[in-house]
């Protein structure tokens, strides 16, 4: 019997943090799940065509967690993977890690998800797996687990390129004020980000 497959969609720049989640989740679930993470060094063996292996992982998955981070939010790849999974009736759950998913643009903002800001957020992963597969795993991510995962982010969250985030959300930022003659002046703040 094949194990149920859970797909972790993420930026390879976040591989250490996501691998920490995967490793801890594998321990909680006792290895009864196949957790596909393209950057873990196991899901795609060396010498294999990585695009085909990702496609295989997507075809086998029944749940996809899309880890939205400052590294992944500007990448089209997570949107591609999420769209493929959604079209195959796979449960697609956006997970904010250093990014508030309330700020996402369509189509990910149409899907119910959650933010990881503590161990409770991490335990949502276990809760979703329990509900989907009718398992009874303890929601046992701890504060220490959260601290370890947060520390694996290599400061990438502190190096957020605000311009990219606003542009990826389709936002423009401008200053508008009266010109003193009954009109308005508008200045787009592109230079602010430079």
**pLDDT digit string, tens, across residues 115-153:** 999 999 999 999 999 999 999 999 999 999 999 998 887
Specify whether 91 is located in the same domain as 136. yes
CATH of the domain at 122: 3.40.50.10140
Do 92 and 181 sit in the same domain of this protein?
no
**pLDDT given at position 94:** 95
Region 88-115 average pLDDT? 90
For residues 175 and 47, the model is more confident at 175
Q: Are strands 174-178 and 184-188 parallel, antiparallel or unpaired?
A: antiparallel
Which residue range forms the structural domain that includes residue 175? 161-194
Query: Alpha-carbon dihedral of residues 40, 44, 79, 67, nearest 10 degrees?
Result: -20
Say whether the peptide bond before residue 107 is cis (omega within 30 degrees of 0). Answer: yes
Whether residues 51 and 141 fall in one domain: yes
The CA radius of gyration of the chain, in Å to the nearest whole number, is 19
Angle between helices 119-133 and 143-151 (to 10 degrees): 110
d(CA 64, CA 133): 14
Structural contact between residues 88 and 109, judged by C-beta atoms closer than 8 angstroms: no
Share of the chain above pLDDT 90, in %: 39
Same domain, 145 and 115: yes
The larger pLDDT score, comparing residue 180 to residue 3, is at: 3
Q: Is the pLDDT of residue 41 over 60?
A: no
Average pLDDT, the chain: 80
Residues 102 and 183 in one domain: no
Which one-letter DSSP state was computed for residue 2? Answer: P
Q: Does 169 lie in the same domain as 85? A: no
Domains contained in the chain, number = 2
């Amino acid at each position: 019997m094949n194990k149920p497959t859970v797909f972790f969609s993420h930026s390879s720049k976040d591989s250490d943090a996501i691998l920490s989640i995967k490793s801890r989740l594998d321990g909680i679930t006792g290895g009864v799940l196949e957790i596909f993470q393209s950057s873990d060094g196991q899901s795609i063996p060396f010498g294999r065509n990585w695009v085909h292996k990702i496609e295989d992982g997507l075809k086998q998955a029944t749940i996809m967690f899309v880890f939205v981070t400052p590294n992944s939010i500007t990448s089209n790849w997570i949107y591609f993977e999420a769209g493929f999974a959604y079209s195959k009736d796979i449960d697609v759950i956006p997970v904010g890690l250093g990014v508030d998913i309330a700020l996402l643009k369509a189509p990910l903002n149409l899907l119910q998800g959650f933010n990881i800001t503590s161990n409770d957020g991490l335990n949502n992963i276990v809760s979703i797996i329990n509900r989907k597969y009718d398992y009874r795993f303890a929601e046992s991510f701890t504060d220490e687990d959260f601290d370890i995962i947060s520390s694996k982010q290599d400061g990438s969250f502190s190096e957020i390129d605000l311009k990219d985030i606003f542009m990826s959300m389709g936002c423009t930022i401008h200053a508008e004020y009266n010109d003193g003659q009954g009109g308005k002046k508008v200045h787009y703040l592109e230079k602010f980000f430079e």
